[in-house]
Chains A and B, each alone.
Chain A
Amino acid sequence: MVRFERTINMPEKILESFNVKHLSILDEKGDTDESLMPSLSDTDIKMMYELLVLSRTFDHQALNLQREGRIGSYAPILGQEASQIGSAFALEKTDWIFPSFREIGVYITMGYPLHMLFQYWSGDERGVKTPEELNIFPVCVPVGTQVPHAAGAAMAIKYKNKRKAVAAYFGDGGTSEGDFHEGMNMAGVFKLPVVFICQNNHWAISVPREKQTASKTIAQKAFAYGFEGIQVDGNDIFAVYKATKDALDKAKKGEGPTLIECFTYRMSDHTTSDDASRYRFKEELEAWKPKDPILRLRLFMEKKGLWTGQYQKEVEGRAKEAVDEAVKKEEAIEHPEPKDMFTFTFEKLTQRQTKQIRDFQ
């Protein structure tokens, strides 16, 4: 018997490798890396600052109202304002937004009527009856389930060949859900015009970030689905804005989705039904205080001569006025009638429902 023998060499091959980038532009002292600075006019920067202050004023007032029993449960955004306003500032009104439930800053930036936000948080569904000129889809409380909706809407945009994009908001907790992975996978396979914005605020109620995933970053999850992921300093409004703007431009050019991880911190409780002091250390909270997103933009503006004590007073005054007016307007809205519960179950009433209304009255 003849035996053929040969020795072959099969060195290990690297098929793919990835680098996860982190983007910071504005530091805690208010200094910026000019080479990275996005193009923003002084007016833009002032507008960003005013939106930050307005959002924080709203947040504060909503907590007060909840404590007084004037609104229901509320999910505060304290500490996450730059992640929300920075990203929403890059969006156009024609873009589509799929929020989770902690996106007051996004709503305010897009020009959503403030009184309707109070209305929603008072438990009145009519508060999320988004005005016609905006494309904000319903507040989505079940965690992560809006991610496939965003992919579906992006599919519709692609099909209709429109120059628009979709922004999907969710938290670090949401990235453990199957829906997140299924939606991301779909977006990758079909190269859909969608930007996934994860506000990694480090806590999903009482579950810390390290219990959520063994991955070093959330951004890197995008690579498994064939597109780019980037981590940004979520308390740095310029970094968030730049990353979102770049991702939106890319999506609108037909170059597919992006995952942005905004590295931030939930300075308040999960909602008004929660008490974070029972499960997290005070030191952690203290360490995040100097990283405050509003403080650092203020320092930057002060150095640029865009901020004065007088300006601060005016901005705060206008914010307070707007919020107070919204509360007044909301509290004057007539309560719905019991029969109204039938009205929107279907697009139009069915025959059985008409009978049910009659029986009900």
Chain B
Amino acid sequence: MPWTKVYVDKSEFEKAAQLQKEGLRGLTFREALKEATAQMMEKDDRVFVMGEGVDDPGGIFGSTQGLHKKFGKERVMDLPIAENGMTGVAIGAAMAGMRPIFVHMRMDFLPMCMDQIVNHAAKWCYMTGGRTNVPLVIRSIIGKGWGSAAQHSQALQALFMHIPGLKVVMPSTPYDVKGLMVSSIQDGNPVMFIEHRWLYEQIGHVPEEIYTVPIGKGIVRKQGKDVTVVAVSNMVYEAMKAVQPLEAEGIDVEVIDPRTIKPLDEDLIIESVKKTGRLVIVDIGWKTCGVSAEIAAVVAEKAFKYLKAPVKRVTLPDVPTPNSPVLEDAYYFDYKRIVSSVKEMFREV
């Protein structure tokens, strides 16, 4: 289906669009995100956007650009800089019946909001016996490159995955970013909506109407029988790029995009591992206590006897992001590391 497909590069999408002639509407990830926000704001007057720079000409890398002109500064609000306090403001508005979308240009700013997110947003529904829930979307963007370094490029999804009461989504395609944004706004709980900056230019099929992608449902991006590769966020694209070189080696890869990391679609991953007997997890974060650790643990608990080889994890090394381009280059990895890890797995057994 055109909407489940990952178009690894733009020309691939253009080719598909040409073949289909009609009905394949292409949008970039950033346009899809903005469209979801705008359509939900039109549909539901409780929805508003707040955050540093949401109404400036850049508009959060284009994802909120121009929305203030359409909806006014009351609904697309620039704020005094105070991450924790403003998270509290968003929580208060959510408890009072609004549906705020709080945007952070960098995920690295979330540690400043930890008290309000962890001790309040995640807790009120529980602590009030279900009386006061917090329907809040917190968008944050993971950076990479341009010397973003240790304080402007962290992938902190695992921190939030740990906290009961939070949902964590990490869409990878334009179709999913729109559908998951709609679902996140409609959800009655705080949803951590995590985007990778390098996904913004990705193009894919996005229907014009409002639709949802369910939170907690992953998707098989490519079926295969020899090894399951679970890839998170922009790693989905790297995993897809690894498919052909591995095919050339006679290895048929199944690629799974969890889309939501909490609640995790455990069944999808386990069913796949039962079939392939092998699991490689590719995350854009660190290894220790990371997303890959949780997925590996779930598989160890529920599908251990199906495993033909030890689980492999392809992640960042446990060090802060370096600033030096030379070190940065060594720190990040691409599809080649996935290819070599999978090949290694087959050699080892």
- Which A residues form the contact surface with B (CB < 8 A)? 96, 98, 125-130, 137-138, 140, 142, 145-157, 159-160, 178-179, 181-183, 185-186, 189, 343-348, 350-353
Q: Contacts of A138 on B, CB cut-off 8 Å?
A: 124, 127-128, 132
Verify A156–B82 contact, CB threshold 8 A: no
Query: Which of B89, B94, B125, B135 has the largest count of A CB atoms less than 10 A from its CB?
Result: B89
Verify B216–A351 contact, CB threshold 8 A: yes
Please tell me which one of the listed residues A96, A126, A178, A346 contacts residue B96 in the complex, with CB atoms under 8 A apart: A96
- Size class of the B contact interface (CB-based, 8 Å): 35 or more
Interface check B188, CB cutoff 8 A? yes
Verify A182–B84 contact, CB threshold 8 A: yes
Query: Provided the pairs A138-B128, A345-B126 are in contact, do residues A179 and B80 lie with their beta carbons within 8 angstroms?
Result: no
Verify A153–B93 contact, CB threshold 8 A: yes
Q: Contacts of B125 on A, CB cut-off 8 Å?
A: 344-347
Query: Provided the pairs A142-B119, A179-B85, A186-B89 are in contact, do residues A344 and B95 lie with their beta carbons within 8 angstroms?
Result: no
Verify B88–A182 contact, CB threshold 8 A: yes
Known pairs A138-B124, A346-B188 / 6 extra A-B pairs, C-beta < 8 Å = A98-B92, A130-B132, A152-B92, A186-B86, A346-B125, A346-B189
| CA A345 to CA B130, docked complex, whole Å | 8
User: A-facing mask of B91-133, CB < 8 A → 1, else 0?
Assistant: 1111111101000000000000001100110001111111111
Query: Provided the pairs A125-B129, A350-B216, A352-B264 are in contact, do residues A185 and B94 lie with their beta carbons within 8 angstroms?
Result: no
- Which B residues form the contact surface with A (CB < 8 A)? 48, 74-75, 79-80, 82, 84-98, 100, 115-116, 119-120, 124-133, 135, 164-165, 167, 187-189, 216, 263-264, 266
Verify B130–A185 contact, CB threshold 8 A: no
Verify B90–A152 contact, CB threshold 8 A: yes
| CA A152 to CA B74, docked complex, whole Å | 13
29 sampled A-B residue pairs with Cβ under 8 A = A125-B129, A128-B127, A129-B130, A137-B132, A138-B127, A142-B120, A145-B115, A145-B119, A146-B88, A149-B89, A150-B92, A151-B88, A152-B89, A152-B90, A153-B93, A153-B95, A154-B92, A156-B92, A156-B98, A179-B88, A181-B85, A182-B82, A186-B80, A186-B82, A186-B89, A345-B125, A346-B189, A347-B188, A348-B188
Query: Provided the pairs A149-B91, A149-B95, A182-B88 are in contact, do residues A347 and B130 lie with their beta carbons within 8 angstroms?
Result: yes
Could you tell me the distance in whole angstroms from the C-beta of A349 to the nearest C-beta in chain B?
10
Query: Which of B80, B85, B133, B264 has the largest count of A CB atoms less than 10 A from its CB?
Result: B85
Q: Contacts of A148 on B, CB cut-off 8 Å?
A: 84-89, 91-92, 116
Q: Contacts of B82 on A, CB cut-off 8 Å?
A: 178, 182, 185-186
Verify B96–A153 contact, CB threshold 8 A: yes
| CA A149 to CA B131, docked complex, whole Å | 16
Verify B85–A186 contact, CB threshold 8 A: yes
| CA A181 to CA B94, docked complex, whole Å | 21
| CA A345 to CA B123, docked complex, whole Å | 7
Q: Contacts of B75 on A, CB cut-off 8 Å?
A: 159
Could you tell me the distance in whole angstroms from the C-beta of A295 to the nearest C-beta in chain B?
36
Verify A350–B263 contact, CB threshold 8 A: yes
Q: Contacts of A343 on B, CB cut-off 8 Å?
A: 130
What 4 A-B pairs have minimum CB-CB distances, sorted nearest first?
A: A182-B85, A152-B92, A148-B88, A347-B188
Q: Contacts of A353 on B, CB cut-off 8 Å?
A: 263
Q: Contacts of B95 on A, CB cut-off 8 Å?
A: 137, 149, 152-153
Could you tell me the distance in whole angstroms from the C-beta of B283 to the nearest C-beta in chain A?
19
| CA A160 to CA B97, docked complex, whole Å | 10
Verify B129–A149 contact, CB threshold 8 A: no
Q: Contacts of A126 on B, CB cut-off 8 Å?
A: 129
Please tell me which one of the listed residues B74, B84, B263 contacts residue A178 in the complex, with CB atoms under 8 A apart: B84
Could you tell me the distance in whole angstroms from the C-beta of A108 to the nearest C-beta in chain B?
19
Verify A178–B128 contact, CB threshold 8 A: no
Give the residue name and chain of the B residue nearest to A148 (CB): B88
Verify B93–A155 contact, CB threshold 8 A: yes
Please tell me which one of the listed residues A125, A145, A156, A182 contacts residue B97 in the complex, with CB atoms under 8 A apart: A156
Q: Contacts of A348 on B, CB cut-off 8 Å?
A: 188
Q: Contacts of A128 on B, CB cut-off 8 Å?
A: 127-129, 131
Could you tell me the distance in whole angstroms from the C-beta of B276 to the nearest C-beta in chain A?
23
Query: Provided the pairs A344-B126, A347-B133 are in contact, do residues A142 and B115 lie with their beta carbons within 8 angstroms?
Result: yes
Query: Which of B48, B88, B130 has the largest count of A CB atoms less than 10 A from its CB?
Result: B88
Q: Contacts of B74 on A, CB cut-off 8 Å?
A: 159
Q: Contacts of B94 on A, CB cut-off 8 Å?
A: 152
Query: Provided the pairs A179-B84, A347-B133 are in contact, do residues A152 and B216 lie with their beta carbons within 8 angstroms?
Result: no
Q: Contacts of A181 on B, CB cut-off 8 Å?
A: 85
Q: Contacts of B263 on A, CB cut-off 8 Å?
A: 350-353
Q: Contacts of A145 on B, CB cut-off 8 Å?
A: 88, 115-116, 119-120
Q: Contacts of B127 on A, CB cut-off 8 Å?
A: 125, 128, 138
Query: Which of A96, A145, A149, A150 has the largest count of B CB atoms less than 10 A from its CB?
Result: A149
| CA A11 to CA B115, docked complex, whole Å | 47
| CA A146 to CA B188, docked complex, whole Å | 20
Query: Provided the pairs A128-B128, A145-B120, A348-B188 are in contact, do residues A152 and B84 lie with their beta carbons within 8 angstroms?
Result: no
Query: Provided the pairs A130-B131, A156-B97, A178-B85 are in contact, do residues A151 and B92 lie with their beta carbons within 8 angstroms?
Result: yes
Verify A352–B266 contact, CB threshold 8 A: yes
| CA A277 to CA B180, docked complex, whole Å | 57
Could you tell me the distance in whole angstroms from the C-beta of B102 to the nearest C-beta in chain A?
10
| CA A140 to CA B84, docked complex, whole Å | 16
Q: Contacts of B97 on A, CB cut-off 8 Å?
A: 156, 160
| CA A128 to CA B116, docked complex, whole Å | 19
| CA A343 to CA B128, docked complex, whole Å | 11
